[in-house]
Chains A and B, each alone.
Chain A
Amino acid sequence: MWQRFHERHADKPGFALVGVAIDALPDGARAFTEQSGCTFPMALDSRNLLNAVLGVKTVTNAFLLDEEGRLRWQHLHGFRVARPEMLAMAERVVEGDLEEFVASPGVVQESLEVESLRAELADRPDDADYVLMLAEALGREGRDEEALQTYARVLELRPADSTAHYATGSLLLAAGRTDDAVAAWQRGLEVDPMNFTLRKQIWMVQFPDRFYPEIDMAFQVEQIKKEGFPDLSKLPISIRRELGDHAVDDLAIDV
């Protein structure tokens, strides 16, 4: 549908449609783009910066920026151009009718956040919760080196903080330091062996073809069998079911 929208407006002076794929790894986004046949530019947001900057938590969303890069219109969460009413809304916006602006409240300025957190930390420099919030804020602003240093401080204060381990690995991966990223996640697993999310990040880096273009659930089950897992109840329901955990047999959900 977005491709048809693009084709309808491709010749409109001053208008360009740009897609943004929120995906951790480029291969997944590339495969999706190729399969979809879209001809408009597709950018990759591998670190989910749209979440940080614009409050994007799920797809799909729509934004209109003016020629100076200012956000003029947005519709967060559940903007589906396949729906006639939303398509009509998008058409009106492109024609310059911004009355449909949907203010989606969320965050204030990034620098305001960092400034305020630093002020808070002046009074409580060893508060791991506050240091973690600062690290997250720095990461959202793309200040990766500062974020990494701040996550390291979190881990000094709270070595088992799985959030900090996860984020450290993600930042290192984004910096192209794949081995360091895996090592960071493995350190996280050492102190939090039941953290399935950390485990899955390592698999995704080491076995990317098992996750893109399709997720191979059987592979994950085999990995769990191979590596062992201290408490099966901490695993996703779908994997528990594959492992023969009858406690979840009657759950209707399939995730």
Chain B
Amino acid sequence: MSEPAPVDNRWSEPSRAPDQPLRIATAEAGTPEWYLAAAVKRLAGEAGIELEPKRFEGGEARRVASVHEGMAEIGIALVETAGWAYRAESAYDGWRHTSLRAIAAIEQTQWLGVAARWEARVGSLEELAEARGLRLLVPLPGGDSASWTFLAAEALAAHGARPAQLAELGWRVEDVSAAGRRVRALDFDLLVAPIGPYRGAQARLWQEASALASLRFLPLSERALGRLESEHGVGRGSLPADYLRGVDEPVPTIRFDRWLVFASERLEDEVAVAVARALEAGRSRLAPLHASLDPLRPLDDVRIPVHRAVVRDRRERGLEARDNLSQAPA
């Protein structure tokens, strides 16, 4: 299958002037994207590739679009997010980003956490639609992550209770950006947010919530997990027992394993190869410190094409490398 023509080809040439630094789209400090962008900047810098962190208003969707549109050269997103953006699916329905190309993947597990305070008397997600007047913290449109907003809404919808429906039932529904102060004041009943092994503000949120409040972690139903898997390609997993206070046994939920470092197809070949090789060389430094990086076999099943120069470079080194061009959207 041939590579699809971009829907929008206004940026068919690199938008960066030769004397401008390369830009890596980054997020707010303390988020996993921020840590990963810092790591990529460090490793690339040591290889002689200077990356300038660039923050964009508009959250994850804007960061992804910035690479597609030539406002940044390197981006980081969940593998699933990049696939959705490339194919205009799920959280990116109707918004195609056909210029995205994979450079490398970094393993870092994340789960969707759903927990209710015991005082809320919610024993399962199926009970939400019957509850009244509770206080929900959940990623909402306009927040940082289009993907987590979409996933949280779909997960709740699979149990009959989208955030908007809960608001109609008298719930106070707020974006997770308000979660820090709400959690510290124990002014919440249900928390729906990503749980990851990163540090910073998001890690503190779950640590504080589980330490300050008695939480009951609610599993996603088998039906919901099946729906998210079949309709959106989201993997299933379990929040491990003892991962946080209150997680007494594995809690079935959705799980993400990898972040994708990506560029646009316009990124110069030598830069793409240099960044990919820098990450590959840095694997030994990152892996023992938790962020497991294995660029030798990460890209076969990502749902966007691999940058042509990265494919060529691997093949020249005798490594197996698929280009994933068959992933082109219809």
Residues of A within 8 A of B (CB): 52, 54-55, 57-59, 70-72, 77-78, 103-109, 112-113, 115-117, 119-120, 129-130, 133, 136-137, 140, 162-163, 194-197, 233-234, 236-237, 247-248, 251, 253, 255
Q: Is the CB–CB distance between B245 and A58 below 8 Å?
A: yes
Give which listed residue, A54, A133, A195, A236, contacts B29 with CB less than 8 A.
A133
Q: Is the CB–CB distance between B289 and A107 below 8 Å?
A: yes
Number of interface residues of B (CB under 8 A): 45
A102 to chain B, nearest CB (A): 10
Q: Is the CB–CB distance between A133 and B289 below 8 Å?
A: no
- Give the chain A neighbours of B216 by CB distance below 8 A: 253
Query: Do A120 and B290 contact each other (CB < 8 Å), given the known contacts A112-B42, A197-B211, A233-B186?
Result: no
Please list 22 pairs of residues, one from A and one from B, whose beta carbons are closer than 8 Å in the complex, sorted by A's number: A57-B243, A59-B242, A72-B288, A103-B292, A104-B197, A105-B291, A107-B197, A107-B290, A108-B291, A109-B39, A109-B285, A116-B29, A130-B29, A133-B30, A133-B201, A136-B199, A163-B208, A195-B184, A196-B212, A233-B119, A234-B185, A251-B121
- Give the chain B neighbours of A194 by CB distance below 8 A: 185
Give which listed residue, B38, B184, B200, B211, contacts A112 with CB less than 8 A.
B38
Q: Is the CB–CB distance between A108 and B292 below 8 Å?
A: no
Q: Is the CB–CB distance between B199 and A105 below 8 Å?
A: no
B207 at the interface (CB under 8 A from A): yes
B109 at the interface (CB under 8 A from A): yes
* Binary contact track B278-297/A, C-beta < 8 Å → 1, others 0: 00000001111111100000
Q: Is the CB–CB distance between B290 and A54 below 8 Å?
A: yes
Q: Is the CB–CB distance between A105 and B186 below 8 Å?
A: no
- Give the chain B neighbours of A109 by CB distance below 8 A: 39, 42, 285, 289
Q: How far apart are the CA atoms of A129 and B207 in the complex, in Å?
A: 16
Going nearest first, the 3 A-B pairs with the smallest beta carbon separation are A106-B290, A103-B292, A106-B197
Give which listed residue, B107, B121, B212, B285, contacts A197 with CB less than 8 A.
B212
